[in-house]
Chain A
């Protein structure tokens, strides 16, 4: 039997989220104080030693982003906290935003100090109304706290960063960092080719660092107790804990914090989640949110680390574990996923803009019984083209569940083909 390990979630429910003093009593602001006693470069060094990686999906080393931005001389620099959390099956950021907002704020202040950011923007998913209202108020309290000389001014030697809170407007793609930056600039919220990277040319063309909420929440821990202590859990390549959002066909859905790599998918599902509703092994699981590839029951012994999940053919993504029951048909699973992602392409690049729509269309056709054998080939072709050719993570990953379903559960697709293929010569068929 495995148990949760509460590092990020330990204070949740233990203080009134607006109460800075309550937070401080529970050990808050130690990280910030420690950080301010060091040079920014040393703060970055500490985070590098801790090996902190982004929790927003891409898993990029936080300290590397920081040093790019810190090296830039232009101001204002921006720090954006990405709280748009739109990935299916993922609710961990909400828990932190509402349950321990001061820890997120503290992490942001440390990041701002280390990178030299002048403005912090927290971009909160539109549907998280409560979180937004709370943060509006919190922003004022943060600036009040920052007037305490020991918390910022005296130590940092420059004006405290300004904290702004912005609400998203129902657009999944606005969580992708380039689209997010465009959104905040009141431009069309579409992604863009990188380079240039945000660190160099971000919001309004200025150096910008974008972080997921959970990533930021790790920062105070690292500074308060040091990289060595931080590394005592997790794996060598991926230290620390992660928040796993467990949902779908599961008895006890919820957010669970575990050391990275310490548990298998099966343990997570059975020990913490209480197993599937009918007790049978699941048909499939998405271990890293709605755009991660499906794993079948055969993969349930995979450990929950990026490396292990990658080896199994999927990814750690956002830590959103979605469980599909044994009675599900793979085509209906991908139909459900495409029902959401199929409408979320930003439309900037052609493969993804058209590919989302076409995949959704083909799957619908199959489910309606109007599909032909060539449709399966088409589905795979669109998916592969999107993965290889798309600009951003959206187009590169939304087809992954479909492609994995085609590989793992080909019969589910084939059994839906009703219409005989149009008469073609073998030659033509091959060229398709």
Chain B
């Protein structure tokens, strides 16, 4: 992530509700990808925490899509 992306991510994340449901996850990941051009590692951790699912599971899912790009923080 470059600094702009990092800032955009912080902005994005702070606008999310504190509890997201598993129903929203796939959509949020997509939004992130569309807005930032990547899915930062931090997002997997943060979203997993908020939705009460495991980081492991999200990682397994995200790596399966050609259109998702994972980025280191």
Contact = CB atoms under 8 A, between A and B. Distances in A.
A–B interface present (Cβ within 8 A): yes
Interface of A: 119, 126, 164, 166-167, 169-171, 183-190, 204, 346
Interface of B: 22-23, 25-27, 29-30, 33-34, 51, 53, 57-58, 60-61, 64-68
A170 B64 CA distance: 10
B26 A186 contact: yes
Contacts of B58: 186
A422 B58 CA distance: 47
Given A184-B26, A186-B26, A204-B23, A169 B66 contact: yes
A167 B31 CA distance: 9
21 contacts: A166-B27, A169-B33, A170-B66, A170-B67, A171-B64, A171-B66, A184-B23, A184-B26, A185-B22, A186-B22, A186-B26, A186-B29, A186-B51, A186-B53, A186-B58, A187-B60, A189-B61, A189-B65, A204-B22, A204-B23, A346-B64
Nearest to B21: A204
Given A184-B26, A185-B22, A204-B22, A169 B57 contact: no
A237 to B, nearest CB: 37
Q: Which of B23, B33, B57, B66 has the most CB of A within 10 A?
A: B23
B22 A188 contact: no
A159 B25 CA distance: 24
A172 to B, nearest CB: 10
Given A169-B66, A204-B22, A186 B61 contact: yes
A358 B61 CA distance: 25
Is chain A's binding surface mostly helix, strand, loop or mixed? loop
B30 A166 contact: yes
Is chain B's binding surface mostly helix, strand, loop or mixed? helix
Nearest first, the 3 closest Cβ-Cβ pairs linking A and B are: A186-B25, A170-B67, A169-B65
A188 B60 CA distance: 6
Contacts of B30: 166-167, 169
Contacts of A184: 23, 26
Q: Which of A126, A164, A170, A187 has the most CB of B within 10 A?
A: A187
A188 B64 contact: yes
Given A126-B67, A171-B67, A190-B64, 19 more contacts: A164-B27, A166-B27, A167-B30, A169-B30, A169-B65, A169-B66, A170-B66, A183-B61, A185-B26, A186-B51, A186-B53, A186-B57, A186-B58, A187-B57, A187-B61, A188-B57, A188-B64, A189-B64, A204-B23
A169 B67 contact: yes
Contacts of B53: 186
A116 B61 CA distance: 30
Contacts of B60: 187-188
A188 B53 CA distance: 13
A185 B51 CA distance: 12
A267 to B, nearest CB: 38
Contacts of A185: 22, 26
B22 A166 contact: no
A167 B68 CA distance: 12
Nearest to B25: A186
A226 B38 CA distance: 49
Contacts of A119: 23
Nearest to B63: A188
